Amino acid sequence: MNPLTAQNWNLDSLYEGGTRSIKLKQLINGLVENLHILVIDLEAQEPKLKNQEFQTLLNIMDRFQSVLIEWQELDEFVTCLHSENVKDTTVLTLMDKSAELKAIMDTVKINLHHLLAAIQEDTWNEFINLEAVKPISFYLNKERQAIKDRLPREMEKLISDLSVNGIKGWEQQQQLMLSKLRVSIELDGIETEVSIGQAMNYAIHSKDPGLRKLAAQGINNTCEAEADSFASILNRIAGSRLDVYEQRGWPNILKEAVEQNDLNEATIDAVLASISQNKDLYQAYIQRKVKLTGSGETSWFDLASPIFASAEKVSYAEAKSIIIKQFNRFNSKLGSFAEKVFAEDWVEMENRADKAEGGFCASMPLAGESRIFFTYREIYQDVVTLAHEIGHAYHNFILHGEPALAQQKGTSIDETASTFMENLVLDAVINQTTNEQEKLALLEMKIKNGLMYIGTVPNMFLFEQQFYRKRKEGLVTVDEIQFLLSEVENAFYEGEVENLGLYKWMYISHFYDAEIPFYNIPYTIGYLFSSGIYEMARAEPNGFAERYDSLLRDSGRMTVEQLAQTFLDADISMSEFWNNSQQSLREAIEEYLRLTEKF
């Protein structure tokens, strides 16, 4: 197949036959057996490890890393199978199996972490400095410390076991209900039912203002009819999480989120403070956007919809060529990697009805590969999205050579490579464009993407915090949820947007994630952290690519603060770094305001 025209990914090269794959079945059976033996061996360990037993622990660590890699590949592959055909119900059995194995994995982790916590301090210091252990010492030290904040082993095991049919079950229920929601819209005089994702596409991307309004109304009507059910699920997920926090004695609802993302709460505060300091410029853009809509009444979909639409269609072959060219300009290693992604069919981009919504990059650590899922619509936004996802794949590529426990990273760092590649491609296209209308369309795209991280995501973070605080007092009704959301949105838009999207809490799936609390804010930190790196690369291009690869390689071995200090010589608990990170976005807004002054 021509690597410049292939529309579908190749999953058979990983596990031929998909849900019927013999190789996949062997992976699952082997994982079940290895996990079972590992549970028994861990339970048989003495609670106080002695120096002469280091080899036993090293053996357990190696086996734990093996099953971790195997489960991650299984879970990612099953996600790929489900996403490429949401109507294939046979995948659901595999998803359930993966969830069951995840619960056993969690039990193994709990037992292992308790074993680590029981080691005497002097013995631990000797163990952690062994050459075989140094690459994973960051993870081990972190988990050893964290276990002291957890409940006794049997209680944590019970929480893990109950989560399969508890909080994780609620997450799957939300996903199922969301996939079944249908929005009724009149298209070419015919009443048509479309998915939420398709309706959002009409509401934001249609060139017909009337159709955008109809799509938005349809979304509201559909969501209003199902709001109570989604509110119930959201309440149960938050309630389950808060119950666990209470049992662990965690009064701070952000404790788990900052630990998962290897950052300090002071860093989040610095990010939010920096955004606030630059708010005037963002407000100026919003006011100009409202003026340019000329509708008299501005709605959420007007703000998201481009004023200046690009007339150019970008074929998939052209998109690939743009990405390869820009990646090569930064680093030939990166360019060669992009060529490999396309040549080996790692990307699923076909526009068809039976696919899942959204996009992602799945890491296949056993194979040392990745798979990218999204839908390509021949617009520049999708070129940028593709570059973003290949950035994730490149980060995976760098980490696949590291031990499994040195590959574990938080969402903030996970966005580092992806946002960097996004900026690399989009800025190049903007700078090369001489047509003013095209330039405005591209600038608007860059600003819209930036404001999602600077405005929408922090807004959702603030809303989610308010929701959790309210949930501590009892169940939160739909009206109360919408009130909390409207307060946050109005504070940012300062009344410029009259019709807010008050049902977005239903279809932003991050709110329903069973594994990662406050999933939204790490994206803002990742976006700005990556943008800060991008600014440094622009200022100091010589030799930066090597330093960049080193940062990615160590992303599972340090906190965000340590990475910034080590590779960027920056203190990110202060606002200065985050102010500099917004420079590229500021430049885009200033140019946009200058070019639209005459309209």
- Give domain limits for the chain: 18-165
Q: Is residue 49 pLDDT above 80, yes or no?
A: no
Average pLDDT over residues 54-62: 90
- Please report, rounded to a whole number, the percentage of residues in the chain having pLDDT higher than 70: 98
Q: What is the pLDDT of residue 295?
A: 67
Q: Is residue 418 pLDDT above 50, yes or no?
A: yes
Q: What is the pLDDT of residue 471?
A: 98
Q: Is residue 52 pLDDT above 60, yes or no?
A: no
Q: Is residue 20 pLDDT above 80, yes or no?
A: yes
The amino acid sitting at 132 is A
Residue with the two structure tokens 């973070």: 461
Classify 187 as helix, strand or coil. strand
In the structure, what pLDDT confidence band is assigned to residue 46 with cuts at 50, 70 and 90? low
Average pLDDT over residues 466-485: 98
Among the ranges given (110-119, 437-446, 482-491, 527-536), the one the predictor scored with the smallest mean pLDDT: 110-119
- Please report, rounded to a whole number, the percentage of residues in the chain having pLDDT higher than 90: 72
Q: What is the pLDDT of residue 289?
A: 87
In the structure, what pLDDT confidence band is assigned to residue 358 with cuts at 50, 70 and 90? confident
In the structure, what pLDDT confidence band is assigned to residue 154 with cuts at 50, 70 and 90? confident
Higher-pLDDT residue of 358, 350: 350
In the structure, what pLDDT confidence band is assigned to residue 296 with cuts at 50, 70 and 90? low
* Residues forming beta bridges with residue 467, ordered by sequence position: none
Q: What is the pLDDT of residue 519?
A: 81
Handedness of CA 145, 151, 154, 155 (dihedral sign): negative
Average pLDDT over residues 299-309: 85
* Token output for 5: 């025209």
Q: Is residue 102 pLDDT above 60, yes or no?
A: yes
pLDDT per residue as tens digits for the range 324-351: 999 999 999 999 999 999 999 999 999 9
Cβ(260)–Cβ(518) under 8 Å?
no
Q: What is the pLDDT of residue 1?
A: 44
Length of the chain counted residue by residue: 599
Q: Is residue 51 pLDDT above 80, yes or no?
A: no
pLDDT per residue as tens digits for the range 225-252: 999 999 999 999 999 999 999 999 999 9
d(CA 292, CA 282): 15
Q: Is residue 47 pLDDT above 80, yes or no?
A: no
d(CA 200, CA 86): 19
Q: What is the pLDDT of residue 381?
A: 87
Q: What is the pLDDT of residue 55?
A: 87
Contacts 24+ apart (CB under 8 A), 91-99: 91/19, 93/19, 94/19, 94/24, 95/172, 97/28, 98/71, 98/74, 99/164, 99/168, 99/172
In the structure, what pLDDT confidence band is assigned to residue 363 with cuts at 50, 70 and 90? very high
Residue with the two structure tokens 């280091």: 54
Mean pLDDT (the chain) is: 92
Average pLDDT over residues 362-373: 97
In the structure, what pLDDT confidence band is assigned to residue 48 with cuts at 50, 70 and 90? low
Q: What is the pLDDT of residue 312?
A: 84
Classify 360 as helix, strand or coil. strand
pTM, entire model: 0.87
The amino acid sitting at 335 is G
CATH of 18-165, one of 3.40.50.2300, 1.20.140.70, 3.40.640.10, 1.10.10.60: 1.20.140.70
Cβ(130)–Cβ(57) under 8 Å?
no
The edge-to-edge listing of strands for the beta sheet with 369-373 is 347-348, 369-373, 360-364
| Exposure string over 163-177, b if 16+ CB within 10 A, otherwise e | bbebbbbbbbbbbee
Residue 311 backbone phi and psi in degrees, to 5: -85, -15
Classify 361 as helix, strand or coil. strand
Strands (E), 391-510: none
Residue with the two structure tokens 């659901």: 92
Handedness of CA 249, 510, 471, 494 (dihedral sign): positive
Identify which of 34-48, 308-322, 381-395, 495-509 has the greatest average pLDDT: 381-395
Taking phi over 0 as left and psi of -120 to 50 as alpha, with beta for the rest, 518 belongs to left
The one-character DSSP state at 499 is: B
Judge residue 293's burial from the number of C-beta atoms within 10 Å of its C-beta, 0-12 exposed, 13-18 middle, 19 or more buried: middle
Q: Is residue 3 pLDDT above 60, yes or no?
A: no
pLDDT per residue as tens digits for the range 553-597: 999 999 999 999 999 999 999 999 999 999 999 999 999 999 999
